[in-house]
């Protein structure tokens, strides 16, 4: 059985590491709010995510569902532009369109 000092040391180290890892994001948050890089990422990440999802869909759809994929992409773009650029809403609408078209046609 380990000695009490050893157990206390391990618990203290675990406590310091846990506290540091939980507090670090809050300490870094203020400078990041004023960062141009973070602002640029906030603008471009949704577009990048949509582009990756579209590329994956079109790659997997080459086996016979290309028309359905193109229709779903058009729905995604239309919903994204018409509903205030809400990324999750447009992705959900495009995904639902693709799933419905593939299963109903």
pLDDT per position as a tens digit, 18-61: 999 999 888 888 888 888 888 888 888 888 887 887 788 778 76
Return the closest-CA partner of residue 80 out of 67, 89, 71, 70.
Answer: 89
For the chain, give the percent of residues with pLDDT over 70: 96
Rounded distance, CA 2 to CA 92, Å? 54
Return the closest-CA partner of residue 21 out of 33, 30, 13.
Answer: 13
Q: What is the pLDDT of residue 7?
A: 94
Instruction: Please give the DSSP secondary-structure letter assigned to residue 84.
Output: T
CA torsion through residues 21, 23, 27, 29, sign: positive
- pLDDT band of 17, cuts 50, 70, 90: very high
């Amino acid at each position: 059985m380990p000695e009490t000092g050893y157990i206390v040391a391990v618990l203290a180290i675990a406590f310091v590491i846990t506290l540091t890892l939980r507090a670090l994001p809050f300490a870094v948050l203020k400078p990041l709010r004023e960062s141009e890089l973070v602002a640029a990422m906030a603008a471009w990440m949704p577009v990048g995510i949509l582009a990756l999802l579209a590329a994956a869909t079109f790659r997997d759809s080459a086996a016979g569902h290309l028309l359905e994929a193109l229709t779903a992409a058009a729905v995604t773009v239309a919903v994204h532009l018409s509903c205030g650029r809400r990324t999750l809403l447009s992705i959900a609408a495009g995904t639902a369109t693709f799933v419905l078209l593939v299963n109903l046609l």
